[in-house]
């Protein structure tokens, strides 16, 4: 397992760039579909390039309905991987069920932390307070790596405006498979698609309103970015998008979208 100490937002962004793979297929995909985003990009990736080998990764958070609606319009049988960390808001779980019914998604897969990992690293359920990076690793990073085994590509709802580490991401990326520590698990590459990379809050709001999509119930209560309950707070009026996540810590990524395992912020 590669361990790199990252102590700043700039280093995290640099690490993402350094770990990104550039293969002939990636170059070809970027050239062929340059300028496509949103549903147009999703359509060719789901139906053509990665048919049967692609999954959506969704937190069912504040903006998740937009991406999930686009996917459902193309193919509602597309697998959706939902990380049930065991620390989520009850509102998030109920929102997941509501969106599944509203959008007609047929294959939502809840991936949770392995009992052995919890017993070894977080037996009392308090790791989030002592070491939130390690908690994210056990409850998010490892479960997602296991859930994505066998898929050639994943779809995310990431946008450039969200964090400093995402400001330069491309709609089509390729990463070395991180692995889970088991022998042979860190082999090959996996594509990552970010069809909403260039979208801002205004575009998201317009799409949500135009399609009458239900909103996460916590948004109206001041939660702008919604993760696990212990590490998510309301954003004060006038605050920025991610101010409610990991308040008081030098951390703005849980780590599932960082292409390397790190010993500092972000795993």
The alpha-helical segments, DSSP class H, found in the chain are 9-19, 24-32, 38-44, 64-74, 90-103, 115-121, 127-130, 132-136, 142-147, 201-210
- What the block records as the tokens of 142 is 């490892």
Is 254 labeled as catalytic in the residue annotation?
Answer: yes
Distance CA 50, CA 43 (A): 10
Active-site residue, selected from the candidate residues 135, 136, 231, 254? 254
> How many C-beta neighbours within 10 Å does residue 241 have?
16
The one-character DSSP state at 89 is -
List of residues 6+ apart from 184 with CB closer than 8 A: none
- Decide if 91 contacts 100 (C-beta within 8 A): no
The residues annotated with a catalytic role in the active site are 254
């Amino acid at each position: 397992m590669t361990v790199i100490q990252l102590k700043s937002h700039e280093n995290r962004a640099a690490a993402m760039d350094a770990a990104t793979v550039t293969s002939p297929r990636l170059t070809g995909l970027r050239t062929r579909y340059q300028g496509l985003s949103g549903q147009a990009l999703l359509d060719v990736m789901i139906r053509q390039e990665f048919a049967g080998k692609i999954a959506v990764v969704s937190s069912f958070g504040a903006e998740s309905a937009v991406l999930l609606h686009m996917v459902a319009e193309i193919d509602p049988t597309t697998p959706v991987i939902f990380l049930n960390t065991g620390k989520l808001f009850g509102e998030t779980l109920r929102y997941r069920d509501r969106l599944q019914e509203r959008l007609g998604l047929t294959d939502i897969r809840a991936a949770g932390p392995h009992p052995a990992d919890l017993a070894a690293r977080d037996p009392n359920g308090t790791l989030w307070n002592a070491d939130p990076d390690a908690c994210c690793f056990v409850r998010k990073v490892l479960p997602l790596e296991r859930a994505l085994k066998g898929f050639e590509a994943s779809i995310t709802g990431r946008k450039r405006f969200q964090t400093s580490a995402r400001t330069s991401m491309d709609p089509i990326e390729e990463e070395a498979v991180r692995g889970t520590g088991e022998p042979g698990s860190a082999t090959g590459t996996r594509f990552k698609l970010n069809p909403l990379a260039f979208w801002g809050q205004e575009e998201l709001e317009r799409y949500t309103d135009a399609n009458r999509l239900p909103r996460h119930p916590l948004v109206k209560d001041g939660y702008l970015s919604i993760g696990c309950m212990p590490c998510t707070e309301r954003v004060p009026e006038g605050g920025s998008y991610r101010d409610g996540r990991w308040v008081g810590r030098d951390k703005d990524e849980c780590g599932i979208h960082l292409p390397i395992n790190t010993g500092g912020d972000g795993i």
